[in-house]
Amino acid sequence: MAELTGSARALHEVYDTALLDLDGVVYAGGEALPHAVASLRTARDAGMRLAYVTNNAARTPETVADHLTALGVPAAPDEVVTSAQAVARLVAESVPPGSAVLCAGGEGLRVALRERGLRPVASADEGPAAVVQGYGGPDLSWGMLSEAALAVNRGVPWFAANLDATIPGGRGITPGNGAAVEVVRIATRHTREPEVAGKPRPPMHRESILRTGARRPLVIGDRLDTDIEGAHVGSVDSLLVLSGVTDAAALVAARAEHRPTYVAEDLRGLLVGHPGPSREGDGVFGCGGWRASVSGGGLVIEGRGEPLDGLRALCAAAWAAADAGIPAGAERALARLGW
């Protein structure tokens, strides 16, 4: 059973490199999240290396680094790892050096392809050795998707930076690269599938380790199905922060590959120890001053103390029940904790 783990020492003292997701972890809507800047500065000053790992393939590492620096988190381009870089490496390992690659994406993807000695082109008639799709923002045209579909239907190898269906923005949710990939998939009558590089797939984790040289990395993210699952795929520890898309209810209901090693409200969790829940009886788990169990088809929480400790106990009880095939509702227990 995947389960939350305890650490008496602060996480930035235990792990040598933080592999940080960006949106929902460091910033939201382009603005720094509360406590993010101060927490990252403290971790870096204490000797932890920071690396920013994003599925967004549209922006170049230079652009991302400039954005972080402007927010107050000094970052260099070589501290940014993107799904564009991961997919460009995959393509370069599959085609001859200098090959033409039909690039259905933004500047970040084109730069990553050139970094690998490949030549981005825009037409299926230019003899591409591969097709690669990455998020291109509102400038990605229907014509470019048509060119990608034409090439894929001709049998050209097909790659995708990621399959994220949506992208959060300041005005709401918009289609992500996964939606663009689906357009091409429909045009092939669902007879072709791309090779995917981004989180949670192994190529993204490999790219992060190759570029950072991390020996004991900690993945930090806000999404269970990309960040945390990616950590499981890479067999490394993870910290889920509740400052982004995942809420407490989703965490309690997480299946095994979506369960983090640690949980915190935000990046302040990087600077503190984490009490681990303990089994205190048959189906009973404790953390801090809380005790959680399953009774009458629902989770029950008793005691008092820090709400985050109560959430840890609830997760332990819920996950043990789920692994035993016992359904357990969590709404009332989470309401008791104020989540």
For 113-127, what is each residue's pLDDT tens digit? Answer: 999 999 999 999 999
- Phi, then psi, of 198 in degrees rounded to 5: -70, 175
23 is a catalytic site residue: yes
The whole-angstrom separation of Cα 135 and Cα 102 is 14
Encode pLDDT of 210-258 as tens digits.
Answer: 999 999 999 999 999 999 999 999 999 999 999 999 999 999 999 999 9
Last residue of a domain, one of 177, 196, 215: 196
**The pLDDT of residue 297 is above 90:** no
Q: Which of 138, 165, 196 is where one domain is finished?
A: 196
139 noted as active-site residue: no
Q: Does residue 60 lie within any of the structural domains? A: no
Taking the model in full, what pTM does it have?
0.94
- pLDDT in the model for residue 169: 67
- Asked if pLDDT for residue 1 goes beyond 70, the answer is no
Whole domain around residue 39: which residue ranges? Answer: 11-55+201-271
Number of domains observed in the structure of the chain: 3
Q: State the pLDDT confidence band at 170, using cuts at 50, 70 and 90.
A: low
Contact between 234 and 39 under an 8 Å Cβ cutoff? The reply is: no
Last residue of a domain, one of 196, 223, 257: 196
pLDDT tens sequence across 246-281: 999 999 999 999 999 999 999 999 999 999 999 998
CB contact set of 125 (below 8 Å; sequence gap of 6+): none
pLDDT score for 166: 84
* Mean predicted confidence (pLDDT) in 188-195: 96
Confirm whether 6 is domain-assigned.
no
Q: Identify whether residues 22 and 121 lie together within a single domain.
A: no
DSSP string, 88-155: HHHHHTTS-TT-EEEEES-HHHHHHHHHTT-EEES-GGG--SEEEE---GGG--HHHHHHHHHHHHTT
Let me know if residue 170 belongs to a domain.
Answer: yes
Q: What is the pLDDT of residue 270?
A: 98
> Quick one: average pLDDT of 187-193?
96
Catalytic residue among 21, 222, 227, 309: 21
Pick the closest to residue 95 from 74, 71, 121, 60 (CA basis): 121
Provide the pLDDT for residue 331. Answer: 94
Catalytic residue among 23, 164, 227, 309: 23
Whether 263 is covered by a domain: the verdict is: yes
In a domain, 69, yes or no: no
